[in-house]
Amino acid sequence: MDPTTQTLTQLRHALRHGETTSVAITQAILDRMTEIDNDIQSYITITDEMALEQAAAADARLAQGQDTPLLGIPVAVKDIICTQGVETTAGSKILEGFIPPYDAFVVSQLKEAGAVILGKTNTDEFAMGSSTENSAYFTTRNPWDMTRVPGGSSGGSAAAVAAGLAFAALGTDTGGSVRQPASFCSVVGLRPTYGRISRWGVIAFASSLDQVGTFGRTVADCAAMFQVAAGYDRRDSTAINTPVPDYEAALTGDIRGLRVGIPREYFVGGMDPDVEAAVRAAIDQLAALGAEVREVSLPHTEYALPVYYIIAPAEASANLARYDGTRFGPRVPGREQIDTVKKTRALFGPEVKRRIMLGTYALSAGYYDAYYGRALKARTLIKQDFQRAFQHVDIIAAPTSPTTAFKIGERVNDPLSMYLADIFTLSLNLSASCGLSVPCGFDRQGLPIGLQLIGNTLQEATILNAAHAYEQATPWHHRLPPVGQPDNSAATSP
C-alpha cells in the first residue's frame, strides 16, 4: 500500500509493529514531493537531508523498543515558525535568508516527540491573507482543483496534508488561518485556545490574536499533533500554565447529550447554498448521534470583521517595526540610516504595507480612541456573546467559510472580498474560545466544505471528540484529492 495515503495513526501503529520504517515512509513522501510539489508548491523549503537523518535516528530508537508520541512520523511546519538552522521567511522577502539560531517551542516539542520534519510550508506574507497569494514566493495550489487557492494563510500546510505530502502539520491562526484552509482542502484544522500553546519562536503578526494550530487528515491525527504541540513555557508570557489533558483518550465518539448551539447570525445571506446545505446536514448528523441542538445568538457578530481589521493591523504595525534592515534578514543600504530603513522596508509586499498603514493610522494620536479604543470595547462585547452562549451550550456549530475555495487571482485585487473569507472564523480569535474545522462534504463542483465546531476556553477535548464522532459517522475523510492519483476515478468515490 502507498504509505502516503495512510493516516498518522495507521502509520504510528505500523512503525511500532515493525511493519515499515520511518526512512521508507520519509523517502516515499520525498519522492511524492518530487512528483507533485512542483505543481502544488506547498513547501517553501524542503529539508530532505535532515528529514532522512531524523528518520534514521527514529528507526534506530524504534528498533530498541523506544517510544515517543510521534516517533518517526514525517510532519511539516509553517514557515512563520522558527526552525534552528533552517531558513524561516514568514513568506516575506524581508526575512529571506534568515536562519533562526533556535527552535520555536512547538518545534522543540515535535523534535522531542520524535517527529521527522520535512520542511517549511508556504504562507501569506506574515500570515496576512486567506489564500497564500500574498506569499512573496509563490501561490500554493489547492490539491482538489489546481486552478484554486488552498486557503490561507496556512495554505501550504493544509495543501501538504491534503496531498499526502505530510502526515500532519503546524499552522498559525490569527483570524482563521488554520480553519479556513483546512476547510478548503478537506483536512482537519484545530485552532486551540489563546495561550494553550506557547508561541515562543513564532514570528508575531497580531500578538493578542495569534495562536499555533494543527492539521491532520483525520481528527485523531490532528489531536495527536496537538497533543505534542500543546504546552506551557515561561518564554511566552501569555501561555496558560495548566496541565495538558489527554486529547487522544478523549476521542470516545460518544456525544449523547452534548448541547450544540447554532448561531442565528451565521445563517443569514451571502452564504453559498451548497455550503449551507452541507453544514445543516452535518448538524442533523450531530443530532442523530445524540446531541441536543438548539439555537443561540451571538448578537455582535457583525462587528467582528471591522474590529479584527483594526486590532490585527494595529498590532501588526507595532510588531513589524523591528524589520528595519538592522537586526533581521536583508538590508538594502541607503545613504543614511533613514534611507536604509526605507529601502529595506520597501521589501514588504502590498498587503503588509496596507496593514501597516491601516494599523499606524488606527493607533495615531487623535484617532486612537475613535478606532483602536472603540475596537477594544467592541471586542469585549464579542467575547461576552460567546461567554453567554456557553452558559447554555457545550459547543457551537457553524460553517467554517461562507464559500468553497475560490479561483487563484479572483480576489487578490479586492481586499474586502478577501477579508470576507474569514467572516465566520474571526470572532473566535477575538474571544477566548477554541475551534476546529472538520470536512463535511463537497459542493457541486467537487470542492470541499468544512464544519466549524467552537468550544469554550480550553475545551479542545470536547470539540475534538464531537468532530471525531461526526467524522466516524460520515465518509468525507476517506476521499483523497485527484492530484497524483494513478486513477482519478478513485477520488470521487467516498
* Residue ranges that bind ligand GLN, judged by CB under 6 A: 127-130, 153, 172-177, 205, 312, 422
Kindly state the smallest distance separating residue 172's Cβ from ligand GLN, in Å. 6
Question: Smallest distance from the beta carbon of 310 to ligand GLN, in angstroms?
Answer: 12
Please report how close the Cβ of residue 209 comes to ligand GLN at its closest, in angstroms: 8
* Residue 81 beta carbon to ligand GLN: minimum distance, rounded to whole angstroms: 13
Written as one string, the DSSP assignment of 347-385 is TS-HHHHHHHHHHHHHHSTTTTIIIIIHHHHHHHHHHHH
Alpha carbon 238 to chain centroid distance? 20
Residue 489, all three cell numbers: 476515478
Asked whether 232 and 224 are in contact (CB, 8 A), the reply is no
For ligand GLN, the closer CB: 8 or 428: 428
The reply to whether 383 belongs to the active site is: no
Task: Kindly tell me which of 72 and 91 has the beta carbon lying closer to ligand GLN.
Answer: 91
In terms of CB distance, is 12 or 191 closer to ligand GLN?
A: 191
Nearer to ligand GLN, 128 or 438 (CB): 128
In angstroms, rounded to a whole number, what is the distance separating the alpha carbons of residues 77 and 423? 26
Contacts (Cβ under 8 Å, ≥6 apart) of 391? none
> Of 177, 401, 431, 433, which is the active-site residue?
177
The β-bridge partners of 438 are: 451
Catalytic member of 78, 186, 427, 431: 78
Backbone angles phi, psi at 470, to 5 degrees: -65, -45
Q: Give how far the C-alpha of residue 355 lies from the chain's centroid of Cα atoms, to the nearest Å.
A: 21
**Contact between 26 and 49 (Cβ < 8 Å):** no
- Asked about 153 being catalytic, the answer comes back as yes
Shortest distance (Å) from residue 241 CB to ligand GLN: 25
Q: Which residue lies nearer to ligand GLN by CB, 4 or 92?
A: 92
Closest CA to 471 of 220, 178, 154: 220
Residues 21 and 15: their CA atoms lie apart, in Å, by: 6
**Three-state secondary structure of 242-288:** CCCCCCCCCCCCCCCCCEEEEEHHHCCCCCCHHHHHHHHHHHHHHHH
* 362 vs 370: CA distance, rounded Å: 8
Minimum distance from residue 104 beta carbon to ligand GLN (Å): 16
Distance from C-alpha of 415 to C-alpha of 449, rounded to nearest angstrom: 23
Catalytic-labelled residue, pool 153, 183, 317, 427: 153
How remote is the C-alpha of 33 from its chain's centroid?
21
Give whichever of 325 and 359 is closer to ligand GLN, judged by the CB atom.
359
Q: Which is nearer to ligand GLN, 129 or 164 (CB)?
A: 129
Tell the smallest beta-carbon distance from residue 305 to ligand GLN (Å): 10
Q: Which amino acid is at 35?
A: E
On whether the CB atoms of residues 186 and 476 are closer than 8 A, the answer is yes
Catalytic residues: 78, 153, 177
